[in-house]
Structure 1
Amino acid sequence: MQGGEISPVELFLQAGPVVKAVIVMLVAASFWCWIIIFEALWTLGRLRRAIRSEGGGKGRMGELIGKIFAAGRDEAFEAQVSAAESDRRSAITAAMRRRAQELIESCQRGLPNLAVIASVAPFVGLFGTVWGIMTSFAGIAAAKDTSLAVVAPGIAEALAATAIGLAAAIPAAFAYNRLAAAFGITAKALNRRIEDYGTRLARGNGQVAPLRKKIA
């Protein structure tokens, strides 16, 4: 570092082995975080389009939505012996909801990892900072020189671990909350679609065309 400029690469190279290991872990966690975020956004977009499409639409997500409706049709034929329409509707929607719950859970499988990164990364960074400062003070004691020029580089290297930890944790925390809310809204839209389709199946004893109503 010269002229007050801070180079992240230089900070990393001058850091001790423990701080280097912490920084590598946090950078890897940050990359993992963004991979999970983009994958969840892509999955969420496909799921929403499939819910709005007739019969679930095309592609793998459309096939999964179609299987939910197929489970309802299968249950509708099984429930024909029930005299009460409300009983048939309950059985049909329950069958579709089980499939829908499995689908939503599979789409959200990466979100717990975001929560882990958001909660753990700051503490890992803090550990690296504390360790780096301890090492710096030990070096100061050995050199018997307490001037700021000697102290500052070591402390800057240590604080870099906390900064990287926060850089990994903040996007993870924000994305976890926003994505969890978005998946919750999408699950409600799918549930409304299931309710409408289940009602039509119950009234038609399984002889019903695919639902054409689109859910916003």
Structure 2
Amino acid sequence: MKKPASVAALDDLGRVQLSKHFFLRDFLYSEIANFHGIPNIPDDPDLAIAAGERLCDALLEPLQATFGRIAIRSAYRAPAVNGFGNARQKAGKGGYNCSSNAASSAGHIWDRRDAAGRMGATACLVLPWFAQRYEAGADWRALAWWIHDHLPYHSLYFFPKRAAFNLTWREAPERRIDSYIAPKGCLTKPGMANHSGSHAAWYAGFPPLPREGSAANAAG
């Protein structure tokens, strides 16, 4: 598929269904693109679609089946959008929070592979079901460990506002969790003693992963 060069072509691209409940258009909105007038359109639509399908099927569908509606805060960023945001961030302009295009490839930039050649995609999410509990004092690590024990994620990064988190699917996943919420830093990564085994005590009372999502379970 060619990069859209008309409104009609972009409309057709947005109609591509990535999974049972998600369409590509759900992931194309960007505050940076909207405010600064930079088109947020994939250069390589086929790669963006392939990565988005895996993100949705393996991670987002099981999350929505378990916890209810997902709120997508940000997701796909075109290289031009992400590069602009990164330049503004490095210049000390607040609110952009974009890493370099190299670091964002196979992350927020769905249509570029990372340095290791892996395909991937990131979405920043809020789970309203958990956000309400977080505002009432729930520990963000409860949700982090639930995802770790149930889903084949590559990386998780949690943020203080409504316990939003970046969720990444990537080929050959590393399975690492970090947070800007206290306790800040790395919660787990391969080689740490807490990486394996069950963490069910952290998420007692959480709904179980529905049977239809069990095929995506990487932790067993």
TM-score (norm 1): 0.18
More helix by share: 1
Q: Which structure ranks higher in relative contact order (CA pairs < 8 Å, sequence separation ≥ 6)? A: 1
For normalisation by structure 2, the TM-score amounts to 0.18
Bigger Rg, structure 1 or 2:
1
